[in-house]
Amino acid sequence: MEDDSRSKKLKELLKGSQAGGATAPGTPQDITQAQFDQTLAKYPLIVIDFWAQRCQPCRIMAPLMDQLAAEYKNKVFFGKVNTDENMDLVNTLGIRNIPAFRIFKNTQLVDKAEGIVPKAQFKTLIEKHL
């Protein structure tokens, strides 16, 4: 019985170490321009929320990002980039409107969304890349 439990734990650890090597926390993490490339390399699937404090739709979407990060814990990394503090990154990625969401898989941009996105639609975007 103890061997089964160890075997399960080992499988979970190995599963988390594949691809990028790190498991995703259950809460969105702040990302700066300096951390961006390192974050992309670290996690196999990433959702990044580009936001600003002054943006009402961004504040509406924040609780949804919290919920999704908790639901996809250990599967999808959720990051937040403050557009006012990371303008070079925003310009490099061509972000013109906020909130803007970018999904990266194995360092490559694979999907995007903008504005207020319903939870079901956001989950569909994520699920097709798992």
pTM: predicted TM-score of the whole model, two decimal places: 0.81
Instruction: Place 23 in a pLDDT band, splitting at 50, 70 and 90.
Output: confident
How far is Cα 40 from Cα 47, in angstroms, rounded to an integer? Answer: 10
pLDDT higher than 50, residue 13:
no
Longest pairwise C-alpha distance within the chain: 56
Q: What is the mean pLDDT of residues 7-24?
A: 52
* All domains of the chain in start order, with CATH: 23-127 (3.40.30.10)
Summarize pLDDT for 72-115 with one digit per residue, the tens. Answer: 999 999 999 999 999 999 999 999 999 999 999 999 999 999 99
25: left (phi over 0), alpha (psi -120 to 50) or beta: beta
Active-site positions read 55, 58
Q: Could you tell me which residues come within 8 angstroms of residue 70 by beta carbon, excluding any fewer than 6 positions away? A: 26, 27
- Number of residues written out for the chain: 130
Instruction: Place 14 in a pLDDT band, splitting at 50, 70 and 90.
Output: very low
Cα distances from 50 to residues 1, 3, 65, in angstroms, run 47, 45, 11
